[in-house]
Structure 1
Amino acid sequence: MEEEKGEEYLFKVVLIGDSAVGKSNLLSRFARNEFDANSKATIGVEFQTQVVEIDGKEIKAQIWDTAGQERFRAVTSAYYRGAVGALVVYDITRRGTFDSINRWLQELTTQNDSTIARMLVGNKCDLENIREVSTEEGKSLAEAEGLFFMETSALDSTNVQTAFEIVIHEIYDNISRKILNSDSYKAELSANGVSLVNGAGSKQSSCCSR
Structure 2
Amino acid sequence: MFKATAGCVYMGVSASNSGDRDKQLVPKVKIALVGTYAVGKTSIITRYIRETFSSEYIYTRGGNIHKKFITVYGQKLQIELIDTGGQDYQKEIAPTLYKVAQGVLIVHDISKPSSFEDVEEWLTSIRQKTLGDPVIMLIGNKNDLDPLGKTDDPPATNKNLTTGLARVSYEQCEEKVHQEGLLPFYSEVSAKTGMNIDPVFELLVKEILHKQNRLLGTIWEPDLGKVDDGRSAAEKPTSKSLTCTIL
Fold match by TM threshold 0.5: yes
Report the TM range for the smaller structure's normalisation. 0.7 to 0.9
Matches within 5 A, 1:19-98: 19-98=37-116
Shift of 1:39: 3.0
Deviation at 1:53, TM superposition (A): 1.3
In structure 2, give the amino acid aligned to 1:24.
Answer: T
Check whether the contact 2:34–2:122 (CA below 8 A) recurs between aligned residues.
yes
Q: Which blocks of at least 5 consecutive residues in structure 2 are unaligned?
A: 1-17, 147-160, 219-237
Counterparts of 1:40 and 1:53, CA distance in 2? 29
Percent identical: 26
Q: Kindly indicate which of the two structures has a greater share of residues assigned to helix.
A: 1
Aligned length: 186
Q: What's the TM-score, normalizing by structure 2? A: 0.70
Name the counterpart of 1:200: 240
Separation in 1, partners of 2:47, 2:199: 12
1:157 aligns with 2:194: yes
Shift of 1:199: 5.7
Residue from 142, 158, 177 that aligns with 1:142: 177
Partner deviation per Cα, 1:17-50 (whole Å, 9 max, x = no partner)? 0000000000000011011110322110011111
Structure 1 stretches of 4+ with a deviation exceeding 4 A read 1-4
- Give the TM-score taking structure 1 as reference length: 0.81
Residue of structure 2 in register with 1:99 after alignment: 117
Distance 1:47 1:113 in 2: 18
Query: What residue identity is the alignment partner of 1:40?
Result: I
Greater gyration radius:
2
Per-residue CA deviation, residues 77-132 of structure 1 (Å, 9 max, x unaligned), is: 21122110010000000000000001001111011141211110110011112451
Distance 1:150 1:136 in 2: 11
1:73 deviates by 1.5
The CA RMSD measured in Å over matched residues stands at 2.4
Q: Which has the higher contact order (CA 8 A, sep 6+)?
A: 1
154-163 vs 137-146, which moves further: 137-146
User: Which residue number in structure 2 is paired with residue 12 of structure 1?
Assistant: 30
Residue of structure 1 in register with 2:154 after alignment: none
